[in-house]
Structure 1
Amino acid sequence: MSEVTIAVEQRNEFGKGAARRTRRAGQIPAVLYGHGSDPKHLSLPSVEFARAIRENGNNAVLTLEVAGSGKELALTKTITAHPIKGYIEHVDLLLVKRGEKVVVNIPVVVSGDAVSGSMVSQELTEVEVEAEALHIPEQVELSIEGAEIGTRFFASELKLPRGVTLQSDPETLVVNISEASASMEEDSASEGEEAAAEGEETSEEA
């Protein structure tokens, strides 16, 4: 995960009206807190922040150039988005130091295919880990390639990078491989037949 530098401004107005004005100006209301310091109310540039999250994930570490206050290193802690329109409404930032370890959630990405006739159920989409603030993995991958029916994968089996330790309960079920029901197999076969029929129709029309 790369470190991103963003120039930010301190906010002196608060409340819903002030927040709306901040967003209309192309900024995102944010609060920086941590290490016993007083919270700082900031405005983040929307485009630059969205790019940092897109390229580095929701746990992006930012070097904030605060106007009139120097630089601060911060971990993106909480992003609040509008439930319908999707734009970012507010961001909570946690003050961190280089070398400091933090506890965050990272996505679990399942790769590979289990044996034919199986159904894959991912029970856990994120796992809690502890890592250095500047070395937070974007995700952890779990391969289920060739997994037999009845196989269960637990959090303890996730292969985390060096220096990253599991904080979630190691006995938490991540993926369960079970036998696909007859109805699911019929639906899959039916979809395959429909796709083949559509292909034949397209060929005849041509």
Structure 2
Amino acid sequence: MSEVRISAEPRTDFGKGGARRTRRAGKVPAVVYGHGEKPRHISLPGLELAAVLRKGGLNQLIEVQVTDGSRELVIPKDIQRDALKDHIVHADLIIVRRGEKITTDVYISWTGEVEKGGLVVHEHDSLTVEAEATAIPESLEVSLEGLAVGAQRTAGEVVLPEGTVLVTDPETVLASVTVPRAEAAAETEAEAAEGETPAAE
């Protein structure tokens, strides 16, 4: 995943009041930490951060350029949003190094159609993998093309990019194909009717 750059400012106005003032200015209070570094409090431009996360998600690699001349390569660790407006209200950013391998969750991109009459049941929407911080896949493609009723797709069947290692148990079922509930109920009733013994005349 390619990295993006975001300008930031040091933040010295702490507490709930300080955070509210930061948000009123259109910025997001954030903390940068990791690799034994002392946590740094910064503020990020709210609209720019939201746009970056919409495009790249929580695995987006970000170079934070602080106005004091410092810079850090980070990925989002935790993003807090307003429950009503869905605005970002706080961000935790963890420091990463080029070449460093990290463990993270990557969303699954489903493709293909199962056989006619089958209903797909998705058990998981992401996989945990280990990859270099600068080479985290944006998504992992899982094909359901032609799967018959009763078939499954497991984590071990997913083709991973070179350098990416699966952490999720390979036997984990990601999706399965079943018969729609109404159709299954009808089949059960039909089988029950066939098994009934005719009453003696």
Q: Which runs of 5+ in 2 are unaligned?
A: 187-201
- In the other structure, the counterpart of 1:47 is 47
- In the other structure, the counterpart of 1:136 is 136
Residue 183 of structure 1 and its aligned partner are, at CA, apart by 5.3
Residues 133-174 of structure 1, C-alpha deviations (whole Å, 9 max, x = no match) = 111111111100110111011111111111111111222110
Residue 46 of structure 1 and its aligned partner are, at CA, apart by 0.9
Query: 1 CA distance for matches of 2:75 and 2:166?
Result: 19
Residues 80-116 of structure 1, C-alpha deviations (whole Å, 9 max, x = no match) = 1122211111111111111111111111121111011
Query: 2 CA distance for matches of 1:9 and 1:117?
Result: 56
Query: 2 CA distance for matches of 1:127 and 1:133?
Result: 16
Question: Are 1:89 and 2:89 counterparts?
Answer: yes
Residue 77 of structure 1 and its aligned partner are, at CA, apart by 1.6
For these two proteins, the number of residue pairs brought into alignment is: 186
Query: 2 CA distance for matches of 1:44 and 1:185?
Result: 55
- Pairing 1:85-164 to 2, within 5 Å after superposition: 85-164=85-164
Residue type of the alignment partner of 2:121: S
Residue type of the alignment partner of 2:35: H
Whether the 8 Å CA contact 2:58–2:75 is kept in 1: the answer is no
Query: TM-score under structure 1 normalisation?
Result: 0.85
Q: Which runs of 5+ in 1 are unaligned?
A: 187-206
Residue type of the alignment partner of 2:171: E
Whether the 8 Å CA contact 1:117–1:185 is kept in 2: the answer is no
Larger radius of gyration: 2
- In the other structure, the counterpart of 1:176 is 176
Question: RMSD in angstroms over aligned alpha carbons?
Answer: 1.7
- In the other structure, the counterpart of 2:9 is 9
| Same amino acid, percent of matched pairs | 42
Whether the 8 Å CA contact 2:22–2:29 is kept in 1: the answer is yes
Residue type of the alignment partner of 2:130: E
- In the other structure, the counterpart of 1:33 is 33
- In the other structure, the counterpart of 2:19 is 19
- In the other structure, the counterpart of 2:77 is 77
Query: TM-score under structure 2 normalisation?
Result: 0.87
